Amino acid sequence: MQSKFVSCLSSSGFHRLHYTEWGDPANPQVLVCAHGLTRCGRDFDTLARALSGHYRVICPDVVGRGESDWLANKSNYTYPQYLNDMATLLAAVRVQSGVDGVDGVHWLGTSMGGIIGMLLAAQPHTPVTRLVVNDVGSFIPKASLERIAMYVGKSPPFPSVEAAVDAVRATSPFGPLSDTEWRVLTLPLIRQNEEGSWDFRYDPGVGEAFRSGPITDVDLLPFWNAINCPVLVTRGAESDLLLRPTFEAMCNKANVRGVEFPGVGHAPMFQHADQIDAVTAFLMAP
């Protein structure tokens, strides 16, 4: 795994976007893995390690998260900014590959990262040639967004790493994970402050932007209908964000496959073989 940065532009100036890279940097087969609202690219360490023999795996920290810069203008934490940043990242990946451009990329996105993937894949001349949408769909219910709004950007400092792990476990219905797995999924999200306690790395301004207007149902069906590449939709069987009727309707579309993981809410984290195998089989299918 290598840690890298690319420079992106917002209305406030340039900012650094951090990403981790796995596999051969000259491999023209590229997979981008994008995380959820308050998470980071290290969520995909286990999956990236498993796929790094086949892909050059790129796992960005969306701006304001992980090791990426925070935006001065918090109102810029929007999907247009995220799409612009990802377009810059994809251009940099093409240049850095050492070959004559990368002929398209595969995209896996969890929640927010899945929305980014859908929006990119719906664009004319998109570089996305195969898409995995993890526990997010063409319709997002208001109730799930209200649940997220209750905690995003509001966490006080934690007295210890263990307290941070407990907080993540309490608000993240990722399914049956071991104590070690919960710790591994928490450590990249936190950093120690000068007082010795621990804070989340993401900008609390992300929460301000999330709550800046009235929370309503979100209809992404026009974008979903514009996607023509093969798609895998993965769902936690107990998810409150990707509802079963939405999941079933999405899976009725041509070139779309779906898989549910029992005992998991929002969202599957690809820590276990059944989840990793489902993604691998789809990405490597003829």
Residue 8: beta bridge partners?
15
pLDDT-based confidence at residue 100 (cuts at 50, 70, 90): very low
Q: Is 159's pLDDT higher than 90?
A: yes
DSSP structure class, residue 126? -
Percent of the chain with pLDDT over 70: 97
pLDDT top residue among 114 and 28: 114
Domain locations in the chain as residue ranges: 2-141+221-283
Cα–Cα dist 89/238, whole Å: 33
φ and ψ at 13, to 5 degrees?
120, -165
Residue with tokens 């009725």, as numbered in its chain: 252
- What's the pLDDT tens digit per position in 31-55? 999 999 999 999 999 999 999 999 9
Q: Are 59 and 44 in contact (CB under 8 A)?
A: yes
With b meaning 16 or more CB within 10 Å and e meaning fewer, what string describes 114-152? bbbbbbbbbeeebbbebbbbbbbbbbbbeebbeebeeeb
Is the entire prediction scored with pTM above 0.75? Answer: yes
Euclidean distance between CA atoms 81 and 205, whole angstroms:
14
pLDDT of residue 212: 84
173 burial type by CB count under 10 A (0-12 exposed, 13-18 middle, 19+ buried): middle
pLDDT value of position 155? 80
Model pLDDT for residues 201-243, shown as the tens digit of each residue = 999 999 988 888 889 999 999 999 999 999 999 999 999 999 9
For residues 57 and 44, the answer to whether their CB atoms sit within 8 Å is yes
| Domain 2-141+221-283 is found in CATH 3.40.50.1820 | yes
- Predicted pLDDT at 8: 98
pLDDT band at 97 (very low <50, low <70, confident <90, very high): very low
Q: How many helices (H) and strands (E) does the chain have?
A: 10, 12
Reported as a pLDDT band with limits 50, 70 and 90, residue 99 is: very low
The burial of 52, by beta-carbon neighbours within 10 Å (0-12 exposed, 13-18 middle, 19 or more buried), is given as middle
